[in-house]
Amino acid sequence: IRQAVIVAAGLDARAYRLDWPADTAVFEIDQSKVLEFKQVVLTEHHAQPTCDRRPVTVDLREDWPAALRSAGFDPEKPAAWSAEGLLRYLPGTAQDLLFARIDELSAPGSQLGLEVFMASGDFNSIADYEKQMTGQSPFGGVDPAELCYDDERADPASWLADKGWVVHPFSLEALTLTYGRTIPEIPDELGGMMKQPRHLIATR
């Protein structure tokens, strides 16, 4: 695979810090203000991409597949996709559309990494913990649960399996141990998030 797409890349800096195979194009999709801010900070620090980095500034509510193709993405070739920290910012119908578009753009051999988080439940656990530790209002005073959708929606693993993807769910705890890393002591509420299968890798 020589093309990767980080959907809702945010401040993800993998395009700068991973040891990519030669000639790999990494497409970062996000809103212009986010990608511009990241670019300014990384330029200030003289960071150099370790791949052919291609920012794709587009709102995911618009025709992002067209923007991706214009940036050089080739749907005839397999791709590595990542969508982390995203699904709960989209209502269920937009999540379905996101998966449908990724499915359509994914040649055989493509892979998809997904983070599946719960909106208010997970944010409340994190917020309680941060407040306890720092005594301050977390997330800069913004209530992140208000940015998210708590609606009923398709289970991503089932959605993808129905389309023929081979899905491997895993927990952060299992992944951490696979890498030989130790898990720090954390309170039960956060520990629960580590133990549940909140991530998956799917192969087409």
Ligand X SMILES: C[S@@+](CC[C@H](N)C(=O)[O-])C[C@H]1O[C@@H](n2cnc3c(N)ncnc32)[C@H](O)[C@@H]1O
Q: Is 8 in the site for ligand X (CB under 6 A)?
A: yes
Span from 41-49, 85-93, 135-143, 175-183 in contact with ligand X (CB under 6 A) = 85-93
Selected from 84, 103, 130, 189, the binder of ligand X by CB under 6 A is: 84
Long-range Cβ contact pairs of 62-66 (< 8 A, separation 24 or more): 64/29, 64/101, 65/101, 65/104, 65/105
3 CB contacts (<8 Å, ≥6 apart)?
Answer: 24, 25, 26, 27, 73, 74, 77, 78, 79, 80
Selected from 68, 79, 86, 116, the binder of ligand X by CB under 6 A is: 86
Give me the helices (H) in the chain, please: 14-17, 32-44, 64-70, 92-105, 119-134, 156-162, 172-178, 188-195
Span from 17-25, 70-78, 81-89, 99-107 in contact with ligand X (CB under 6 A) = 81-89
Span from 28-36, 117-125, 155-163, 183-191 in contact with ligand X (CB under 6 A) = 28-36
Nearest-approach distance from CB 173 to ligand X, in angstroms: 18
Selected from 36, 59, 63, 162, the binder of ligand X by CB under 6 A is: 59
CA distance 12 to 51: 14
Q: Is 34 in the site for ligand X (CB under 6 A)?
A: yes
Q: Is 61 in the site for ligand X (CB under 6 A)?
A: yes
Tokens of 31: 């809103």
Q: Is 74 in the site for ligand X (CB under 6 A)?
A: no
- Phi/psi for 74 (5° steps) reads -115, 105
Q: Is 143 in the site for ligand X (CB under 6 A)?
A: no
Helix H or strand E encompassing 3: strand 3-7
Span from 4-12, 105-113, 130-138, 178-186 in contact with ligand X (CB under 6 A) = 4-12
Q: Which residues bind ligand X (CB under 6 A)?
A: 8-10, 12, 30-31, 34, 59-61, 84-86, 89
